Chain A
Amino acid sequence: MILDWLLPVLISVALLLAVAGMLKRISLWRAGQPEKVSFFSGLMAMPRRYLVDLHHVVERDKYMSKTHVATAGGFVLSMVLILAVHLFGVENRWLSYALLSALVLMFVGALFVFKRRLNPPSRLSKGPWMRLPKSLLMFAVSFFIATLPAAGILPENFGGWLLAAVLAAGIVWGMGELLFGMGWGGPMKHAFAGSLHLAFHRRPERFGGGRSTGLKPVDLTAAKLGVEKPTDFKWNQLLGFDACVQCGKCEAMCPAFAAGQPLNPKKLIQDMVVGLAGGSDAKFAGSPYPGIEVGKAEGGPNKTITEGLVSPDTLWSCTTCRACVEECPMMIEHVDAIVDMRRFLTLEKGNTPNKGAEVLDNLIATDNPNGFNPGSRMNWAADQNLRVMKDVKEADVLFWVSDGAFDMRSQRILRSFVKVLKAANVDFAVLGDEERDSGDVARRLGDDATFQSLAKRNIAAMSQYKFKRIVTTDPHAFHCLKNEYADLYPEGQKPDYEVLHHTTFINELVKAGALSLEEFKGGTVTYHDPCYLGRYNGEYDSPRELLNELGIEIAEMERSGFRSRCCGGGGGAPITDIPGERRIADMRMAEIKETGAELVAVGCQQCTAMLEGVVEPRAEVKDIAELVADALIEGDAPVSKKNGKQAKPNADKRVAEEIL
């Protein structure tokens, strides 16, 4: 029988070609910059990362999760068994039966893939990806029939040469897609690159339930700062780009894409793939960058990315909200790549668009983005009688005021928070004029030099004093202090404090009974998760608990929690101000309106500013600190409340229970 000798040959050839393609692909990645990874422990951890961490992300879409388990599981299993049965000729009936059932599993999975592809949503890429389910089916069916004789179900020579030829053709197609395509850039590339990407991920902390969101610092003495060409990326970043499955989940979540700004995270990653392999984006079969035609972009490993491959406007549209990263089933780091490329534009080219240059100049000259006199940082608190670290040297809590000190709207939030702190008798102090901008905006705009300078001076200022915790009302400063400053501490030193967002801190105070609050009297309330609090730092619960403490039942938006939509204010986006068709803040306010909320609670001054920038009529915007401060029952020390005088109904009940 022909197949008896043809099959092993076909399989061997396909495997050899696949391996050759993989080696070629690996050489493409190796053109990137060196980056230390723990090679073996990464490889060892890979299965767990795939089966647990990645699965958690995919599991959000139950349909796709099950489909993928069936298809991929079936394929991997059948591939192993095919090697055994057809290549090495192990003659074991049970093995053949196992192979058959694996192929059936794969076939069923592929059917669901096929069904998904009948009427695919716009976020999915078409092109070769439309071919994939057919290839999968072909692979499963061909091998199924080819295995039947080995299992003894069909006679050895069933079907004669005609069936053999048909099967051979089917097997060539199937293996062409699934093995050859894996090494040579077909849709199945994702399996090969993806598994290695998981093994050598640049942020291994993300696996096992961890979180890693801080940007990596730039070595300012390097010959080139930031990423100009694809080969300037770290090798494992290039590998990460190749892992993309073009599912478009990022596209569906990206606020800039929704606003019609010229950014599509999926297309960006695919353009990076075009860059690392060389060529044009003509074969890209997904949604384009809004307003930019597909097919015109060309790049190569050693060509400047922003000259011909990706427009700088695309990079500057990003709000660094991390919605794409959060959603990506392949755990690709879009934001890192975007900021890396921004770094080149800012640090080497001096091309930060619109007000970017001015803001950076101000940060350099005055330590705040608007060029205010740094000596006037405490003016907002002239009537607050705050203790300054310089005088007290020591306090339980360092209140990080942030640049909201210069903005009249944000000052209301700051005052409210101070009121809360005072009501709870917290021992706190501020840095006063020694505080500087956290460096968030500078860093997201790519100016890591200014970020590092600000951070180091802030660290030096903080190191003089003793405190246990930092509390701030600004999630951006919160993120920098918590996740990014540790890299910049002098050798041998580490931050020895805990950083908290004010909602977390107030929630603690309320739980400890240090505040007495009255019931919120007002209409429907919804809550907007700030990106830098939620996705960046995983704090979704404290604000909600706190609102519940106020007696508020939150009318949640469809996009909330880890799927919350950005207000449009992050990543320096309001500064670079890339035009789109809509404004992100308007879209967010529309979502708020859908809940019927009269008030939207936020935990970020930037969100407040963006949402209040929406034309009225709209929901009122209030920071949670303001809501709590409004609800404070003053002159009623929490101790006396325990004595059963009077308090808000909720607490009353609890107190009453205690007394009983």
Chain B
Amino acid sequence: MQPDKQNANLRIAALVSVGKHPGSGRARRAEQDARAVEMGLAMAPQGLEVLHAGDPHAEALRAYAGMGLKKIRILQQGENADAVPALSQYLGESKPDIVLTGVRAESGESSGMMAYLLGEKLGMPVVTRIAEIVSIDNGQANLLQALPRGQRRALRVPLPFVASVDMAAAAPRQSAFGPASRAEMEAKKADVEVRDEVQASWSEAPARKRPKRLKVVKAKTAADRFKAATAKSSGDGGKVLRDKPASEMAQAVFDLLLEEGVIR
């Protein structure tokens, strides 16, 4: 979307967190947060403020700055502090028109509650998983919400609002090393710092592999269990159709498509 005059006065706050690569576990820019920044840059490059609550020295924040940001505002607080009070207080004062977040963080609890808690605290409506802000007119935003498998739902919501940005949103622009290393990290001690007491009692460990649920067969006899266990494997495996008329083969393919429910 082109930034037009209408959006010139629009003020957007994009909240960013330190992401975590699923493979290496290394800190990076979070994919959804980066999409939120991208959406903000596309909508209102002038009125965008990128906000982080936490450690101002986190290297991963530079990756957001590399998208072409002059500065990132950081509400400095300790590792165990709850980000919501600090952010809600700051946003309550700065009063942006749109607050963009990711759907779920890539590190920490990743509960996905941030947008909702902020919405509740700031008294702003929350829209979930948006893919695009189509337009803004008369103080109302027209949004597209991402649904599974590439489907979209159109929503209309009045400003100001909080929105979580889905992975279906426009991919973030590349982060360039030069601007990233030169951007200003404007750190300020958060006005409120609330220690997350609940979290302190949790124990955290690398994710264990979850066992795949087996097809449980409630059979009363050994013969039934035997049948259930063997029936599947004999039916599986590639079926090869050859030397048959094309219509017959096509029918078999089509039946499978119907069975899988992909023909709508």
Q: Do A and B share a direct contact in the complex (Cβ within 8 angstroms)?
A: yes
Distance of A357 Cα from B34 Cα, bound (Å): 14
Q: Is the CB of B23 within 8 A of A220?
A: no
- Are B178 and A447 in contact (CB-based, < 8 A)? no
Minimum Cβ distance to chain B for residue A320 (Å): 20
| Residue B28, interface by CB 8 Å | yes
Expressed in whole angstroms, the minimum distance between the Cβ of B37 and any Cβ of chain A is 13
Distance, CA A561 to CA B83, complexed state (A): 62
Question: Are A350 and B66 in contact, CB atoms less than 8 angstroms apart?
Answer: yes
Closest Cβ of chain A to B204, distance in Å, is: 19
Measured CA separation A356–B68 after assembly (Å): 18
Interface segment among B46-54, B85-93, B168-176, B221-229: the answer is B168-176
Q: A350-B66, A350-B175 are in contact. List 16 more A-B contacts (CB 8 A).
A: A346-B174, A346-B177, A347-B176, A348-B176, A348-B178, A350-B67, A350-B176, A351-B176, A357-B174, A360-B174, A365-B23, A366-B26, A367-B24, A371-B23, A374-B23, A374-B24
Pair B174/A366 contact, Cβ less than 8 Å: no
Report the bound CA distance from A366 to B178 in whole Å.
Answer: 21
- Chain B nearest CB from A165 CB (Å) reads 62
Q: Is A56 among interface residues, defined by CB-CB distance under 8 A?
A: no
Question: With an 8 A cutoff between CB atoms, is B181 at the interface?
Answer: yes
In the complex, the answer to whether B177 meets A365 with C-beta atoms within 8 Å is no
Q: Which B residues have a C-beta under 8 Å from some C-beta of A?
A: 21, 23-24, 26, 28, 66-68, 173-179, 181
A-B contact pairs, 14 of them (CB 8 A): A220-B177, A224-B178, A225-B177, A225-B178, A346-B174, A347-B177, A348-B179, A350-B174, A350-B175, A351-B174, A361-B28, A365-B24, A373-B23, A374-B24
CB of A63 within 8 Å of the partner chain: no
Q: Which residues of A contact B24 (CB under 8 A)?
A: 365-367, 373-375
- Nearest chain A residue, comparing its CB with the CB of B68: A350
Chain B residues contacting A350 (CB-CB under 8 Å) are 66-68, 173-176, 179
Name the CB-closest residue of A to B176.
Answer: A350
A449 touches B177 (CB 8 A): yes
Contact A366/B21 with A350-B66, A350-B67 known, Cβ cut-off 8 Å: yes
Q: Tell which of B23, B67, B68 has the most Cβ of chain A within 10 Å.
A: B23
What's the Cα separation between A182 and B174 when bound, in Å? 45
CB neighbours of B179 from chain A (8 A): 348, 350
Q: Which residues of A contact B177 (CB under 8 A)?
A: 220, 225, 346-347, 447, 449-450
B68 contact set on A, CB distance < 8 A: 350
Residue from B26, B173, B178 in contact with A347 in the complex, judged by beta carbons closer than 8 Å: B178
Considering the complex of A and B, which 8 residue pairs feature the smallest CB-CB distances, nearest first?
A: A350-B176, A357-B174, A350-B174, A373-B23, A449-B177, A365-B21, A348-B178, A366-B24
Q: Collect the chain B residues with CB atoms within 8 Å of residue A360's CB.
A: 174
List B contacts of A349 (CB < 8 A).
176
Nearest residue in A to B31 (C-beta to C-beta)?
A: A361
Residues from chain B with Cβ under 8 Å of A367 in the complex: 24
* Residues of chain B lying within 8 A (CB to CB) of residue A220: 177, 181
Q: Please determine whether A346 and B21 come into contact, CB atoms closer than 8 angstroms.
A: no
Taken residue by residue from 330 to 368, chain A's Cβ proximity to chain B (1 for < 8 Å, 0 otherwise) reads as 000000000000000011111110001100110011110
A contact residues around B23 at 8 Å (CB): 365-366, 371-374
Contact A365 B26, beta carbon cutoff 8 Å: yes
